[in-house]
Amino acid sequence: MPNNVDTPTEETLNPVHVDHLLLNGELAAENAWCVSYDDTHLPEQRPAFVPLTLWQANKQDAELAPLLLSDTELNAELAAELNPLPAVAIDFPSFTDGRGYSTARLLRERFGYAGEVRAVGDVLVDQLDYMRRCGFNAMALRDDQHPDDALRLFNSFSVRYQPDVEERHALFERRLTASL
């Protein structure tokens, strides 16, 4: 996976296909989508997630969907453009870059996006619960991440204290309401 998408290399310009995809908490039978970081040329392999500017120039192609890089500024105009789409990918250029979490949460909570929000790039199994809590419902695991570990860790927390996109109330609020 590319660590720095700002400096294209041979590796980042070739479409990336990930074998292990978690979709709605289960291992998907297959992942037909590839991810292309090349913002000047359309990939031959389809369907494909492509950088936002390339997708915007080729919106009529139903086999393309937008790839939001970590520096994408999500505003109301862009959200309105994305809302009717069935899928959007958000890139994690490195596991230490948390901007994708904010983008997913904004898409879901502020802008009401209901389609698939897919995490791509440097996606590790220990991030999956946080990703789900921020609104991701699809996660393309990095090649060295084992899908059985992902499934086991995906549901490792039975109680969450803080609110998230799935549970709007903190645990103390839920307990208070239950005691009334």
> Residue 96 is encoded by which pair of tokens?
């230490």
**Helix, strand, coil percent values for the chain (each to nearest 5):** 30, 20, 50
Is residue 120, in this structure, part of any structural domain at all?
yes
Query: pLDDT below 70 — which residues of the chain?
Result: 1-13, 156-165, 167-176
pLDDT score at 53: 96
Residue 64, Cβ density class (10 Å: 0-12 exposed, 13-18 middle, ≥19 buried): buried
Is residue 14, in this structure, part of any structural domain at all?
no
pLDDT score at 4: 47
Quote the strand ranges of 69-179, DSSP E. 87-92, 116-121, 138-140
Is residue 8, in this structure, part of any structural domain at all?
no
Q: What is the pLDDT of residues 63-96, one digit of tens each?
A: 999 999 999 999 999 999 999 999 999 999 998 9
Residue 150, domain extent: 21-157+164-175
CA atoms 124, 97, 88, 57: torsion sign = negative
Is residue 6, in this structure, part of any structural domain at all?
no
Is residue 180, in this structure, part of any structural domain at all?
no
Q: How many domains does the chain have?
A: 1
**Of residues 68, 61, 62, the one with CA closest to residue 104:** 68
CA 149 to chain centre: 19
Query: What is the C-alpha to C-alpha distance for residues 94 and 91, in angstroms, rounded to an integer?
Result: 9
Instruction: Report the predicted TM-score, pTM, of the whole model to 2 decimal places.
Output: 0.82
Is residue 3, in this structure, part of any structural domain at all?
no
Half-sphere exposure in the Cβ direction for 136 (13 Å, CA) = 28
Instruction: Report the run of H or E that residue 82 belongs to, with start and end.
Output: helix 76-82
* Omega within 30 of 0 (cis) for the link into 47: yes
